[in-house]
Structure 1
Amino acid sequence: MRAIRQAVWTMVSSSALATALASSAVAQTAPASQVDDGAIADIVVTAQRREESLQRVPLSITAVTGEALREANVTDVNRIEQLVPGVRIGRSGSDARPAIRGVYTEAIGANSDPRIGFYIDDIYQSRTSQALTGFVDLERVEVQKGPQGTLYGRNSFGGNIAIYSTVPKDEFAAGFDALYGRFNRARFEGFINQPLGPSIAFRLAGSYERQDGYVKNSSTGSDLGDEDAGYVRGILKIAPVGSGLEVQLRGSYYKQGGAGISAFGYKSIGTLVAPNLVRAPGGSIALPNGRVLTFTNGFNGQAFPTSLGSEFRAPFNSRFRDGIPDIGGADVGVPIEADPWKINFDARVTRRTEQKQFSGVINYDFDTARIRSITSYTDFNALRQSDNDFSSVPIAIDSNLTKVKTFTQELQLLSNDTTSPFQWIIGGFYYNDKVEEIFFSDNFTNYPVAGQPALSTFGISYLPGAAFPANTPLSNIRSDNFAPVLLKTKSYAGFAQLSYTFFDKLRLTAGYRYTSDQKRYAAGITSGAAGGGFLAFDLNQRVNYTCPAPGATTALFGNNPASPQSTATNAANALGIQCGERDFNFHTWRGAIDYQFTRDNMVYGSVSRGIRSGGFNNVLNTVTGQVLPFEPEVVTAYELGTKNRLADGKVQLNAAVFYNDFKQLQVQNTLPAPNGLTTVSIITNAGKSRAYGIELDAIVKPTRRLTFQASFNYLNAKDTDLVFGTQANGICSTGVLSSGGCVAVPAYANPAAPTAAEIAAVSAALAVNAVGVGPQGAAFPNVISDPNRFRQVFITLPNGTVVPATQTSGGATLPVYNYVIGGKGADGTTYVADTPLSPKYVVQVGVSYDLDVAGGTLTPSVQTYFSSSFINAGFTPNFGNQPAFTRTDMRLSWVSGDEKFRVQAYVENLENAAVLNRVAFGANRSLNGVFGTPRTYGIKAGVRF
């Protein structure tokens, strides 16, 4: 047994670890002679809901053992990408945003579901912020790539990340680890395993971590990136000898404080500017069609990619102006902190996360079958805040409050005879989830309090020529921007998967799942302050989510009055509720074939379908009286792969090629409102994309002391039919355009039945004003400067007449266009865009070598991760572009001969690479971004009893 443990520790010490590093218990599945020779140990996974060798599962899975996680200091999901090929873990604030094979996490609100499933001990976690629960005393982590819609189902659209706790053992064991590192990071974790009798055992594990912020604040607000978190988990296992019964009862508690990296972690990273388009007051721009635009107040060059010039990310926060010329004589904005880990915020923010989770697993074995019950209850709460304006100016603090209560019940009946060629599983799943989210903002503006400083006191103008109003902080129970939503989901699913092996080599697998999601949604909308006053809301008062009567075409007001501190005349009817109900029923399936040439070599092929459930927009359909839903999105995935052990088990080589076809993608778009009189920005099923690639992974152990690990991932992910909505940019609506005119668009006398002359007049007026529409409100490109990239939106009136959709901004009526990211342009040109968070190449290389030192084993190890460039959002290549980077971890570990003591010195992200994890638009098209952690280093020590 000691030889087995030593062989496993030799492999674990590489720190790359990646695909097949096993614990000593699992290593027993390989012949002892092979293990003694330093062969690669096997690892058991449960991706198909039964215990199987990783090398025998016809799926692309990466498994990392608990020892490997411990060695690499992986304490949450964020660092998984350093160990797992082909997985990108973006993050914004408290939300993990994983990306796998062209599937990335975008929407995280209560109105939709995650795209990639996250499981803790087979328990689905419904919110992305739950994925940050600490990794403590784990058996392994499995990353299952591609849709897992048959056996998991719950929105496993792009794959799953599943973590498994170490279960109680029949022998006493205990351990403790301590770490101290950069930014005063102190982490303590430990476990104790205590048998309580011949058939009962208990295991208790926990951790506590505290760290200073690594994002330093030069103003009066909080440093960000700090940590203050504790976690405890207890597992009781009861398994009467000879009974066939096993019961596992789990309970865990997680609490997180500090500021974290704020609500979504953003800092201003600049604004897109085309220098050749910058114009001083009175300057002009000549368009290719001969039209000349003259800017009486000048133009600061803010533009997306356009035929007129190339944009770059200028280091200015464009939400503010300071009167100082920045580029070509234009005042682009206020300079930002160029250092990715420095900010200049005034707000002191907080983060409070708490989760209680309880589960029970019952297994009962018959002669040839097993029945399994998995029951869980989760209570999750999170409050996180951020500086709304990303500056030292006291404008606003944004807050997000999330409350989740989830109950799940799964029943499985599965074959239990491992010698039979026929293996099967059937089951049912029930899911009851209640999610409440409240966004609220304390705006220090528009409050008529005498003596408060104007923004000009801080040397900054809010907008060109605009006077900043008097301002004052709010008390902690008031919010003048209050947006609550409530989603209740009940889901029922039945599933089955069957496989049969012919001639002990050829196996056919087929699986099917039917899911019925019943979703009930309620969203609050404020009526707006009336009478020149302001609205404030008491955050301690529960929101009444009572829905309007069936068929009502307006939101229900009156049940949620604002705080008496409000001065607006409509405080009694400040918050209205609008609702929607929808059932989403869908089928997912999988078919696979694999052939086992030898016990160590196999090939497989599979095709599967994954579906992410639909959801709701916060937009009322005035015809149905309900908020507008959006439909599920669909992926069909094809995969061919091979898994091999060579050279007497000293070489492992796995490879896979895949193709994913995505349809009905849920994307943000601009469409006519249901009444046909205006437009709204909503999520619609308007996108298509595809992704294909190659994944290669190898482990080589030429001797028992030396371990190499390498992986290569190629991914070609493109959006092939994708449009984004546009909006007025202000050129026409503010009257700054003095050439070409801003003409009034005539109104229809009868909007339901316009005359031909009215339609012609409106079309002529829209043609003049079309320059006022661009993606995300940018001036360029637009339908005049780049006509091929815009699709005009038309609506059909109740009488069947088709007319142009319009939107009103600043008194000017403008047409509605969608900007073509991918798909056919106006002249038939085909545009294809990169899919966000999808680097084309990722290479990982690791090496370690064991030396006999001081009665133990000293292991230096290096692991390097290289990623080619990628974009973080689909609007433009230079919007949030992350250049290619390399990130290296180095470790020097010593383990005593009896394996009871170990010490490690480490450095992570040796290059100090600043990697953008997420980007988003802020006010006035300012770009905001989140960076990963900088270089860290430290020392850790551990003991085992």
Structure 2
Amino acid sequence: MMTGNFSKRVLMATTGLALATGFSGVAQAQTEESAEDGNVIIVTAQKREENVQEVPISITAIGGDELVSKGISDVTKLDAAVPGLSISKSGSDARPSVRGVRTVEVDLFNDPTIGFFVDGVYKARTSQALAAFVDLERVEVLRGPQGTLYGRNTYGGSIGAISKKPQFDFGAEGNVTYGNFNDLRLEGIVNVPVGDNTAFRVVGVYQESDGYVNVLPSRDPAANTAQDFNDNDQIYVRGSFRHDFDVGEIIVRVSHWDQEGFGAGGFGYTTVGTLQDAAGNLDVGGTLNRTNPRTRSFPGPSDVDPYNVYRNTDLDRDIEETTANMEVNLELGGVILRSISAWSDFQAVRIGDEDFSDSAQGSILTLDTDSETISQEFQLVSDHGGPFTWVVGGYYFSENGSEDFIFLNEVSGGAFTFLQEVDTDSYAVFAQGDYAFGEQFKITVGGRYTVDDKRFRFRTPTSQATPDSDSSDSFDKFTWKVGAEFTPTPDNLIYASVSTGFRSGGANNQFAPTPNYGPQTITAYEIGSKNTFANGQGVANISFFYNDMNDILSNTFVQVGPSLVVARSNGGSSRAYGAELELAYDFDNGFKVDANFSYLNAKFQTFTASAPSGYGLFTGFDVVPGTTNLLDLSGNEVPISPTFTGSIGASYEFDLGGSGTLTPAVQFFFSDSYFVNEFNYDAGIQGRDVGKQGSYTKTDASLTWMDASERFMLQAFVRNLEDEAVLNAGVIGGQGAIFQNYAPPRTYGVRAGFKF
């Protein structure tokens, strides 16, 4: 649980919710400018407001009400609602995967492979994607590279969260949720108009929960028993200001996110043992030996199962993010000038028990990350009639970041430490135009030129007799898109496109054989169709894609002192192809259904990686000629890429007359099996997924009562009804230990709310 300023924070959260409740007694019904209109959602994926069914790209838009009803309170819960999307979490980092593009490297010297945006502002660190989803107008998930309008590091796609604007009518909302693991979440929203064209909106979230990973009593008489971990203790506050004037509007948003508790350490892994042959030698192609090999660990297994482990040292987490952004929209006679200015300060300290055991003395890892960013984007968007529409713009982004790595040996008192720092300045200009040949045919051409200037510094203590290193590099890339669309009827759209994207390059430390590595590139081909039928009650969208990815990163582990240091290089290529289908139908009698399905074939074409540290046997693997431990993984499946996934949801609203409505809802999700590591190892232990997650299902259900005035609601819910321990990340680390991370177990609870 939270410590330190806990009482003050409880008071702040309670006061905020009480403020919302106090205003509700005299409030009138709030009228909001919603992006939802029946089954239609207006999106800004192409920098202008458009019906999602008229946008010729693969995009899933989820409205704010649907986010709430489906219990999507953070980015990791989007997977069942978006075809082909997987979002895992390790430690405090989100790791999205889509269409054969996965998130592996999350340290400061690397950028995301899938961009995350809040109100059009790019987030540089994957941990920043885990801030609370609250009071959102919608979420837009774009699949495939977005190298033209969004740019660098949208290599695999982008996820955009758009918050609700302040409205010009008074309103207040409040919600209380309580579930297992003593999970308490309070939400409060107050919207206050000032005159006819100015308004303020304040949103607050307070949440505290126990950890769902249970720490068992220590087997070592000299050791303590650590606290349960993987809790969720956080406070989030966002204030917004809006002023409309004759030719436009200005919106200012300020937010603060504070997440504490025990978290899940630096990377959040449990350890399951090592891979060995029959004689007990470390063998990447072997079977599982569950003994924990970590130095100074207590003899025997450290993890009984994904949610019951042995630890003697408390984990710790302290994450803070403060942001401010200003958006200005000006209507200038046929064009719209948009300016988005943003600043953020992100800090994260994570402490983990690195021997993964209940030994009295062991090793502790502290990971301290700081990232301060500023960005400025200008867009000029056509807003006139005629066959030609366009958008042009310029973008600047700067990040000053540092990351301190401290590995402490509790026995000797010694430490292995290093500090890495990066300063990034990114510049880009972009343009995209559409030309319509009559009512039915349109072509799209776009391009973006990006320059990333990066300066890297790597520092180690002088006692380690290791020289510091400084380097700099510049990465520039022109990315483009060409597309065509055909509209045979107002309700049907057929489109095709070829687009490119890139992920910026980075640097290694001085232990690596190569100092820097270059960008990763992707060329994506897509054909799709969007269809609306039954007077807008039904939607059927389908897309076929092929991704060609080059210069993807390969990891080599260099043993330095008691720890492994990762060295990266552009090690190969991969390709992915498949199809995605989205369906929805509103029967207009209270019954609604929706479904999505995905087929994916993602494999490495040419890819090599060094064998994990300590492993000298590679049964079933091909060793690159002339080397002793470089493995050829060409033809292996890309991790976190299940062949088939699907989701089917249904709800029915029963009219209770003057008593309101009662709505049962269910969402059923299915995933085929997948590997979690590029080595594609499978330890073959019945009932114990190691390296490979088997096929599974996950069912969410809810029962919601809404009063006749639609002002009060009460909901009971259950998530992951099957209580499936879903394996979502896995690596092999020092001493050959296999570290794995799992999604949450079954959760359930009740939620009550009001809205005026």
For residues 583-594 of structure 1, what are the structure 2 equivalents within 5 Å? 583-594=474-485
Aligned-residue identity in percent: 38
**Aligned equivalents of 1:156 and 1:56: distance in 2?**
22
The CA deviation at 1:688 is: 0.6
State the match for 1:25 in structure 2: 34
The CA deviation at 1:836 is: 0.4
1:239 to 236, 244, 255: 244
State the match for 2:357 in structure 1: 391
SS of corresponding position for 1:49: coil
Task: Describe the shift of the 1:577–1:670 C-alpha distance in structure 2 as closer, same or farther (beyond 3 A).
Answer: closer
State the match for 1:223 in structure 2: 228
SS of corresponding position for 2:53: helix
Amino acid at match of 1:910: L
State the match for 2:27 in structure 1: none
Kindly provide the CA deviation profile for residues 686-719 of structure 1, in whole angstroms up to 9, marking residues without a partner as x: 2110000010110122343111111110000001
For residues 191-340 of structure 1, what are the structure 2 equivalents within 5 Å? 191-218=189-216, 219=218, 220-240=225-245, 243-274=246-277, 277-278=278-279, 300-305=280-285, 311-319=286-294, 334-340=300-306
Q: Does residue 844 of the first structure (1) align with residue 735 of the second (2)?
A: no
The CA deviation at 1:319 is: 2.9
1:669 and 1:818 in contact (8 A); partners too: no
1:315 and 1:338 in contact (8 A); partners too: no
1:435 and 1:486 in contact (8 A); partners too: yes
1:499 to 427, 434, 458: 434
| Coordinate RMSD, CA, aligned | 2.0
State the match for 1:618 in structure 2: 509
2:296 and 2:362 in contact (8 A); partners too: no
The CA deviation at 1:443 is: 1.3
Larger Rg: 1
SS of corresponding position for 2:71: coil
**Aligned equivalents of 2:613 and 2:310: distance in 1?**
26
State the match for 2:13 in structure 1: none
State the match for 2:340 in structure 1: 374
**Aligned equivalents of 1:670 and 1:934: distance in 2?**
32
**Aligned equivalents of 1:597 and 1:434: distance in 2?**
50
State the match for 1:630 in structure 2: 517
1:404 to 371, 376, 383: 371
Kindly provide the CA deviation profile for residues 13-44 of structure 1, in whole angstroms up to 9, marking residues without a partner as x: xxxxxxxxxx983454xxxxxxxxxxx52100
**Aligned equivalents of 2:43 and 2:638: distance in 1?**
31
The CA deviation at 1:261 is: 1.9
Q: Does residue 887 of the first structure (1) align with residue 698 of the second (2)?
A: yes
Amino acid at match of 2:56: P
Q: Does residue 938 of the first structure (1) align with residue 749 of the second (2)?
A: yes
**Aligned equivalents of 1:24 and 1:202: distance in 2?**
15
**Which segments of 5 or more consecutive residues in structure 1 lack a partner in the other structure?**
1-22, 29-39, 279-299, 306-310, 324-332, 448-478, 530-573, 672-679, 727-774, 794-814, 823-831
Q: Does residue 777 of the first structure (1) align with residue 614 of the second (2)?
A: yes
Q: Does residue 104 of the first structure (1) align with residue 84 of the second (2)?
A: no
State the match for 1:648 in structure 2: 535
Aligned residues: 704
| 662-671 or 160-169, larger mean C-alpha shift | 662-671
Amino acid at match of 2:711: K
1:875 to 679, 686, 695: 679
State the match for 1:467 in structure 2: none
Amino acid at match of 1:365: E
TM-score by length of structure 2 reads 0.90
State the match for 1:72 in structure 2: 70
**Aligned equivalents of 1:184 and 1:575: distance in 2?**
48
Kindly provide the CA deviation profile for residues 768-818 of structure 1, in whole angstroms up to 9, marking residues without a partner as x: xxxxxxx5432322xxx77x811245xxxxxxxxxxxxxxxxxxxxx6442
1:189 and 1:206 in contact (8 A); partners too: yes
For residues 812-851 of structure 1, what are the structure 2 equivalents within 5 Å? 816-822=628-634, 832-851=635-654
Amino acid at match of 2:432: Q
State the match for 2:222 in structure 1: none
**Aligned equivalents of 1:349 and 1:355: distance in 2?**
20
2:730 to 900, 919, 923: 919
**Aligned equivalents of 1:213 and 1:865: distance in 2?**
25
Amino acid at match of 2:447: Y
2:313 and 2:353 in contact (8 A); partners too: yes
State the match for 1:288 in structure 2: none
Q: Does residue 864 of the first structure (1) align with residue 755 of the second (2)?
A: no
The CA deviation at 1:942 is: 0.6
Q: Does residue 125 of the first structure (1) align with residue 119 of the second (2)?
A: no
Kindly provide the CA deviation profile for residues 590-622 of structure 1, in whole angstroms up to 9, marking residues without a partner as x: 111111111111100011001001000102699
The CA deviation at 1:211 is: 0.3
**Which segments of 5 or more consecutive residues in structure 2 lack a partner in the other structure?**
1-31, 219-224, 559-564, 683-689
State the match for 2:458 in structure 1: 523
State the match for 1:435 in structure 2: 401
For residues 897-908 of structure 1, what are the structure 2 equivalents within 5 Å? 897-908=708-719
SS of corresponding position for 1:136: coil
2:271 and 2:739 in contact (8 A); partners too: yes
**Aligned equivalents of 2:651 and 2:128: distance in 1?**
34
The CA deviation at 1:939 is: 0.3
2:486 and 2:495 in contact (8 A); partners too: yes
2:35 and 2:138 in contact (8 A); partners too: no
**Aligned equivalents of 1:855 and 1:669: distance in 2?**
64
1:304 and 1:876 in contact (8 A); partners too: no
**Aligned equivalents of 2:297 and 2:258: distance in 1?**
42
Task: Describe the shift of the 1:940–1:670 C-alpha distance in structure 2 as closer, same or farther (beyond 3 A).
Answer: closer
SS of corresponding position for 1:43: strand
Q: Does residue 355 of the first structure (1) align with residue 297 of the second (2)?
A: no
**Aligned equivalents of 1:612 and 1:71: distance in 2?**
35
1:717 to 558, 583, 602: 602
Amino acid at match of 1:835: V
Amino acid at match of 1:435: G
The CA deviation at 1:527 is: 5.0
For residues 57-68 of structure 1, what are the structure 2 equivalents within 5 Å? 57-68=55-66
Amino acid at match of 1:482: T
Amino acid at match of 1:230: I
Q: Does residue 663 of the first structure (1) align with residue 550 of the second (2)?
A: yes
**Aligned equivalents of 1:480 and 1:620: distance in 2?**
17
2:487 to 583, 590, 596: 596
Amino acid at match of 1:634: T
2:572 and 2:606 in contact (8 A); partners too: yes
**Aligned equivalents of 2:262 and 2:754: distance in 1?**
32
Task: Describe the shift of the 1:713–1:422 C-alpha distance in structure 2 as closer, same or farther (beyond 3 A).
Answer: same
1:320 and 1:334 in contact (8 A); partners too: no
SS of corresponding position for 1:78: helix
SS of corresponding position for 1:516: strand
**Aligned equivalents of 2:36 and 2:60: distance in 1?**
17
**Aligned equivalents of 1:777 and 1:146: distance in 2?**
37
1:169 to 154, 167, 170: 167
**Aligned equivalents of 1:378 and 1:336: distance in 2?**
39
The CA deviation at 1:896 is: 1.2
State the match for 1:94 in structure 2: 92
Kindly provide the CA deviation profile for residues 416-446 of structure 1, in whole angstroms up to 9, marking residues without a partner as x: 12x3221101100011111100011221122
The CA deviation at 1:926 is: 1.2
**Aligned equivalents of 2:35 and 2:404: distance in 1?**
46
Task: Describe the shift of the 1:321–1:491 C-alpha distance in structure 2 as closer, same or farther (beyond 3 A).
Answer: closer
Amino acid at match of 1:431: F
State the match for 1:296 in structure 2: none
1:578 and 1:620 in contact (8 A); partners too: no
Kindly provide the CA deviation profile for residues 190-209 of structure 1, in whole angstroms up to 9, marking residues without a partner as x: 21111111211111111000
**Aligned equivalents of 2:236 and 2:255: distance in 1?**
7
| 681-690 or 210-219, larger mean C-alpha shift | 681-690
